Structure 1
Amino acid sequence: MLEIHDLSKSFHHHLVLDHLNLKIQTGQLVYIHGINGSGKSTLFKLICDILKPDSGTIQISSDIHIGALIENPGFLENETLAFNLKFLASLNHNHDPQKIEQLCQLFQLDYQSRIKLKNYSLGMRQKAGIIQAIMEDQNLILLDEPTRGLDAESIQTFCQTINEFNAQGKTIVIAAHDYLKEIHYTHIYHLENGQFKQDEMD
């Protein structure tokens, strides 16, 4: 599904990813952890073609539809939640209003609210970011610090949703500081000094 070979990326002569190798198979649920600046967000941006590598390759199967939440989610700040989600889904001609509204209800967001995104709290914005990453039946989901700003109930909802999506065969990669034991990870990697070290599973 996703194969990264000999991937390197630097910023201002600082090497962030150093000949990184990783292979992710369909249906895996992967957790990546590492200190701030270790390259987690950079890796996701490279996979999504937001950044270009200095060297190395990223091979993604042709049938892959990526959904991603990377760093702080960006929205049309003067528009509502419904407008933003509809706009994002329409870019891929994959707008399913019923499914989107169900996800909003699941994460306790009011889909019909007239409140503009600029007035959303950090947690509300994070929920909207999670929803846009999973609302189009994406089969490769990349989530960067997805529980930032979420309350305990929302974190529980997030964990249940991730496990259910993975049980449906979706491949999910989560990069975060917090290890959520409720999520049924299949692989755990530590990103350090630009390379991966695979952790032992409990």
Structure 2
Amino acid sequence: MLKITHLRKSFYKNQCILKDINLNISRGDVIYIKGINGSGKTTLFKIICDILEKDGGEIDKNKNVKIGALIENPSFIENETILFNLYFLASINNNYNYEAIKKLTDLFSLDIHNKSKMKTYSLGMRQKVAIIQAVMENQNLLIFDEPVRGLDKKSIQIFVDLINALCQQGKAIIIASHDEIHNINYTHIYTLRDGKLYAESND
């Protein structure tokens, strides 16, 4: 689905964040990337999603790859409702499916018809909406940057179950987090350190 070869990215002259990133992502892969703050996880994700430009190396994506992503702190149209926000995001690609979205909001115990504005939502509620928008269009490459931030134990388990179900559907999934999210069926585990990815055992 996606192949990254010798990817490089620097900020300013002496701040090399990604030195030599190599990664193959195939259908059904569930990849966990860990690393300390500032190690480059978010930068890597932004480059994959074409938010940032790379300095060097290659990223080859299959033409049928559709990316869904939660990167950093989710942003919304703050003075609008959850339904308006999800409708707006899905409509960008003409891919709004009310039933699919309602199923996801019900899964995370959110009321899709709640008239409250997004600016009133708690961190955990916003994180749930961010997860939903990353998967609601049946995307086949899913990228999650610190996805369980602000979630309670029950919501974390719902997220875990969702990820395992999406894996069974053949989605490719990449998760970055400071702490490993347990009970996810990871196929590959990496540490991002000194600008490179180091493979670890997932036993």
Report the TM-score range of the alignment, normalised by the length of the smaller protein. Answer: over 0.9
* Aligned residue pair count: 202
CA RMSD of aligned residues (A): 0.6
Aligned twin of 2:152: 151
Q: What is the Cα deviation at residue 201 of structure 1?
A: 1.5
| Equivalent-residue separation in structure 2 for 1:102 and 1:125 (angstroms) | 17
Alignment match, 1:177 = 178
SS in 1 for 2:96: coil
Structure-1 residue corresponding to 2:133:
132
TM-score for both structures, normalised by structure 1? 0.99
In structure 2, distance between residues paired with 1:30 and 1:20 = 14
Following the alignment from structure 2 to structure 1, what is the Cα–Cα distance between the partners of residues 89 and 192? Answer: 31
For residues 21 and 7 of structure 2, the distance between their equivalents in structure 1, rounded to whole angstroms, comes to 5
The 3-state SS of whatever aligns with 2:182 is coil
SS of 1:188 mapped into structure 2: strand
CA distance in 2 between counterparts of 1:166 and 1:19 reads 28
The residue identity in structure 1 corresponding to 2:2 is L
Instruction: State the secondary structure of the residue aligned to 2:160.
Output: helix
Question: Unaligned stretches of 5+ in structure 1?
Answer: none
1:183-202 alignment to 2 at 5 Å?
Answer: 183-202=184-203
C-alpha distance in 2 between matches for 1:37 and 1:190? 13
1:1-202 to structure 2, matched below 5 A, reads 1-13=1-13, 14-202=15-203
Moved >4 Å (runs of 4+): none
Per the TM alignment, residue 19 of structure 1 is displaced from its structure 2 partner at its CA by 1.8
Structure 2 runs not aligned, ≥5 long: none
Question: Shift of residue 112 of structure 1?
Answer: 0.3
> % of aligned pairs identical?
54
Question: How far apart are residue 194 of structure 1 and its match?
Answer: 0.4
